[in-house]
Structure 1
Amino acid sequence: MFRIAAPLILALAVAAPLQAETRVPTSQAEIALGFAPLVKQAAPAVVNIYAKRIVQARQNPFSNDPFFQNFFRDFGETRPKVQNSLGSGVILSADGYVVSNFHVVGGATDIRVVLKDRREFAAEVVLADKDSDLAILKLQDAPDMPYLPLRNSDEVEVGELALAIGNPFGIGQTVSSGIVSGLARSGTATGAARGYFLQTDAAINPGNSGGALIDVNGALIGVNTSILTRSGGSNGVGFAIPANLVAQFVAQAREGFGRFQRPWAGITGQAIDNDIAESLGLDRPGGVLISGLHEKSPFRLAGIRPGDVILGVEAQEVNTPQEMIFRMSVAGLGAEVAVRYYRGGEVSEAGVAMQLPPDSPARLTKMLGDGSPLPGLKMSRVNPAVASELGLSLEAEGVVVEDSGPYGGRVGLRRGDILLAINGQEVATPDSVEALLQNSARRVSMDVLRGLQRVQIRFRL
């Protein structure tokens, strides 16, 4: 299991504060000076990123026809097509670790990073996570690089001055100024990212994604990721992923992980509104109401039960499930966090271990071979680790489809489907799926659980 000691986490997450006073300019001379010295200091560490990826595009002669395009969406052959993307990134270390957004570099086959001084380097993604919309790149053959220190983003306050640096619309490095206009934004940002964000009114536009949001001391407080807009341009509502989460990504990238590892909660819960707060005896809405816990959940092992309300993690309030997961991710694997919870009119505290979901019982992963009726079908037995990877419910059990394969996809199987029965006979293990298919007659009937819906798939061999 990957573990990071608490002192190391603190060292990674919190940059040593610069001895500079944060204050409003007090003279005309200070106002005239503006942000020029700050930009000169920070801009060399903000880079432009050019990424290419190969996608399978369907050659459809009806794609531009206003009438027939809706009838022939899946018509035509699929052919590889080069897709280009443009974004920004921030150098975080002298040895060339760079942070950007997943939607900028995810799946890229060729990445070029261009510095402000026009130097250009090849880069590769060493750690990526679609849910957080973050990716860590490593520059190849890079000398001693300029970089930005990370600030403890929990210390950021609404009203602080902030600068956004990036490459909007591909016109070149640009700086926009504003303030931090909100904290703990969850469920409001757009794009692939989910979780917890800083909000700023500094102008963020397409191409700014992955760029830096810095404070008046030149420290990185967030990575710009998305905006709320109706026109496609900035309306002054932009979101940045906090620096404390970025620090955990860098730490795991240095440990050699290719996919970000989150601590496992093993719970289901919901935000609390006024009605729920009143029914529970809370004086105001706040916290996360626990509705279910897996039997192996570290919260259950710490004594927390369904019906309890999680109020805070490590002295930080949490008001949505996304905020709680963010706080756990920032704490890091191997740590033990103090969780405050409310039960029966009293507030208590418990120590909860930050750990990966258990990979037991054994997943028994199996892929059907060429001699099978559904070659390429990949299945596993559901356990907490498998359920976490595929986004299944805590109650999920049985055999789940990890990859439908070329033929399974044609008959209607999807990733995440749980196989219940084949021709009326219950599916027990991945091995039993192969045996039941081999013993089938020409017609096959499969009972599948897809989310909360039971689906029957029928096909001929």
Structure 2
Amino acid sequence: MKKYFSLLFVAILGGVITLASYKLFLEKPYYVTEGANENAAQTFTTNFNHAPTPALDEEGFTNAADKTVHAVVHVKNTSIATDQSVYSFMFGSGGQQRAQVGTGSGVIISPDGYIVTNNHVIENATKLEITLNNNKIYEATLVGTDPSTDIALLKIDADERLPYLAFGNSDNTKIGEWVLAVGNPFNLTSTVTAGIISAKARDLNPYDDKIQSFIQTDAAVNPGNSGGALVNTAGDLIGINTAITSQTGNYVGYSFAVPSNIAKKVVDDLLEYGNVQKGILGVSGRSLNSTIANEIGVKYTEGFYVAGVEGDSGADKAGLQEGDIIKKIDNIKIKQFSDLTGYLTSKRPGDNVQVSFERDGDYKSVKVTLTKKETYSITGLGLTVKNLSTKDKKSFGVSNGVKITKEATFYSNRNLELEGKVLISINNEPISSIDDVKEVMSSVSNGYNNRNVLVVINKNGEKERYFF
């Protein structure tokens, strides 16, 4: 009996050792997810060691915030409005003028008091008041403004060197990068919010003639933040907070900023030239997607399709053609139209850019010299005009004027043919270039007057006068 129990003990011990050896050295590990079903996504566990998720750089945030709040100012805009409500007319006070006050933010960009803000913050102002972070108040003067980019430049004369922010390079920003928005929402001064860059080259209204190539963030921005600073964690100014999209008018998760490269170029132009110098490539067309690619028979769904090239433009002289697909300008990848316009907005006439494009399956690259915009649409009159070329001047025997390149159906329906003729005056004001057209039309409310008089030269050198 004793021998039997000894053999049984040895057998059990051997079984335990064998099973332990198999489990330890031979059997492959497997994992089961509790509650999983056939339609659920399966979870697989690996044996890799994962590095811990890096913590947010709180010190970078605090340093950037401390650097920024002292350079962001409160902007108070006082304007005069005329009361034209039905109530005011009923009770005899119609047409009375009253002061309106609006507020926003601005960013000091030089120690001698230059401040960048939004055009809509200071629009129609009769008085501009700036409050610094230390509560000192100064009256500001308007240096210049560019409504198309919604950027304005102000100046205050302070009795001290002011804290300021240097422009960063917005082209180097990346989606997912942490940013801070600093401004004065709801008159709450020196407010800092944090978020990430959600998108770049965002166009909120493709049918608007304003230049829109915004940086989109999820940093909280509300009324009063307009004109304030968008900075990275190094404290570099990478954008001017400008807009939100919301049905309520308040922040719902998206905010938009004018990229610093665009804002800096506008500021530099206003200081050097008094107006904004806009360099154009000289192409027209549209962004690609699957639908458009199928329509025009190309395989690409990203890029800018060239539907037309303006004569004598930089693109024309460099050899760009209809049907080309622009994929890159300098080091900027072109996925959509706003990528193209956003980058070109930071350039001037005479600047050179390297344009890379696809043509019939071949990848090409050419240097293009940007030119000044030579065409202008007179919205109120339904005409498009361009500056005269040397050939035009010789052909029509004129030295001044603009050539009418397109007319609205209004003219053809009335058997009026203005297209192809040279416009030499509007309302008795001589026209030498499209700049003259802009100036004359700016004095005509909505493009119309009691009577607009156009004088044109036809191909026979004869003057024709039209009344509208």
* CA–CA separation in structure 2 for the residues paired with 1:100 and 1:428: 51
Note if 1:339 corresponds to 2:355.
yes
Note if 1:295 corresponds to 2:311.
yes
C-alpha deviation, 1:324, in angstroms: 1.5
Q: Which residue of 1 aligns with 2:280?
A: 264
Q: Which residue of 1 aligns with 2:241?
A: 224
Q: Which structure 2 residues correspond to residues 48-447 of structure 1 after superposition, within 5 A?
A: 48-58=74-84, 60-61=86-87, 80-141=97-158, 143-187=160-204, 194-255=211-272, 257-278=273-294, 282-358=298-374, 360-361=387-388, 364=401, 377=427, 381=431, 401=441, 403-404=443-444, 409-410=449-450, 433=465, 446=467
* CA–CA separation in structure 2 for the residues paired with 1:428 and 1:83: 55
C-alpha deviation, 1:115, in angstroms: 0.6
Superimposed CA distance per residue, residues 195-227 of structure 1 (whole angstroms, 9 cap, x where no aligned partner): 211111110000000001111111111110001
Which residue identity is paired with 1:266? G
The alpha-carbon distance between structure 1 residues 381 and 267, as it changes in their structure 2 partners (threshold 3 A), is farther
Which residue identity is paired with 2:72? V
Which residue identity is paired with 2:319? G
C-alpha deviation, 1:250, in angstroms: 2.6
Superimposed CA distance per residue, residues 318-341 of structure 1 (whole angstroms, 9 cap, x where no aligned partner): 233333222112233331000112
The alpha-carbon distance between structure 1 residues 324 and 190, as it changes in their structure 2 partners (threshold 3 A), is closer
Unmatched runs of 5 consecutive residues or more in structure 1: 1-22, 66-75, 366-375, 391-399, 437-445, 447-456
The alpha-carbon distance between structure 1 residues 401 and 430, as it changes in their structure 2 partners (threshold 3 A), is farther
* CA–CA separation in structure 1 for the residues paired with 2:158 and 2:77: 18
* CA–CA separation in structure 2 for the residues paired with 1:306 and 1:109: 48
Alignment size in residue pairs: 373
C-alpha deviation, 1:108, in angstroms: 2.0
* CA–CA separation in structure 1 for the residues paired with 2:303 and 2:401: 38
Superimposed CA distance per residue, residues 83-102 of structure 1 (whole angstroms, 9 cap, x where no aligned partner): 32210011111122211001
**Higher RCO structure, 1 or 2 (CA under 8 Å, sep 6+):** 1
Superimposed CA distance per residue, residues 360-413 of structure 1 (whole angstroms, 9 cap, x where no aligned partner): 436559xxxxxxxxxx946565856568x59xxxxxxxxx955437995346x6
SS at match of 1:240: strand
Note if 1:40 corresponds to 2:66.
yes
* CA–CA separation in structure 2 for the residues paired with 1:26 and 1:407: 58
Deviates more, 1:188-197 or 1:148-157: 188-197
* CA–CA separation in structure 2 for the residues paired with 1:402 and 1:304: 34
Contact 1:363 1:386 in 2 (8 A): no
SS at match of 1:35: helix
Contact 2:118 2:152 in 1 (8 A): yes
SS at match of 1:104: helix
* CA–CA separation in structure 2 for the residues paired with 1:139 and 1:429: 54
C-alpha deviation, 1:148, in angstroms: 1.0
* CA–CA separation in structure 2 for the residues paired with 1:402 and 1:286: 38
Q: Which residue of 2 aligns with 1:442?
A: none
Contact 2:107 2:117 in 1 (8 A): yes
* CA–CA separation in structure 2 for the residues paired with 1:236 and 1:294: 41
The alpha-carbon distance between structure 1 residues 297 and 82, as it changes in their structure 2 partners (threshold 3 A), is farther
C-alpha deviation, 1:301, in angstroms: 1.4
Superimposed CA distance per residue, residues 207-259 of structure 1 (whole angstroms, 9 cap, x where no aligned partner): 0000011111111111100011112210110001111112212322331x332
C-alpha deviation, 1:189, in angstroms: 9.3
* CA–CA separation in structure 2 for the residues paired with 1:429 and 1:62: 56
C-alpha deviation, 1:162, in angstroms: 1.1
* CA–CA separation in structure 1 for the residues paired with 2:261 and 2:107: 15
The alpha-carbon distance between structure 1 residues 303 and 273, as it changes in their structure 2 partners (threshold 3 A), is same
Q: Which residue of 2 aligns with 1:371?
A: none
Superimposed CA distance per residue, residues 16-72 of structure 1 (whole angstroms, 9 cap, x where no aligned partner): xxxxxxx98649xx65x683333222210000001123345536448899xxxxxxx
* CA–CA separation in structure 1 for the residues paired with 2:167 and 2:250: 28
Which residue identity is paired with 2:449? G
Which residue identity is paired with 2:270? A
SS at match of 1:290: strand
The alpha-carbon distance between structure 1 residues 105 and 322, as it changes in their structure 2 partners (threshold 3 A), is same
* CA–CA separation in structure 1 for the residues paired with 2:372 and 2:328: 21
Unmatched runs of 5 consecutive residues or more in structure 2: 1-51, 375-385, 389-398, 403-425
SS at match of 1:299: helix
Which residue identity is paired with 1:97? Y
Deviates more, 1:378-387 or 1:308-317: 378-387
C-alpha deviation, 1:140, in angstroms: 2.5
* CA–CA separation in structure 1 for the residues paired with 2:460 and 2:232: 56
Q: Bigger radius of gyration, 1 or 2?
A: 2
* CA–CA separation in structure 2 for the residues paired with 1:243 and 1:24: 31
User: What RMSD over aligned residues (CA atoms) do the two structures have, in Å?
Assistant: 3.8
Which residue identity is paired with 1:277? A
C-alpha deviation, 1:284, in angstroms: 3.2
Which residue identity is paired with 1:44? H
Q: Which residue of 2 aligns with 1:20?
A: none
The alpha-carbon distance between structure 1 residues 24 and 211, as it changes in their structure 2 partners (threshold 3 A), is farther
SS at match of 1:83: strand
* CA–CA separation in structure 1 for the residues paired with 2:188 and 2:82: 29
Deviates more, 1:232-241 or 1:312-321: 312-321
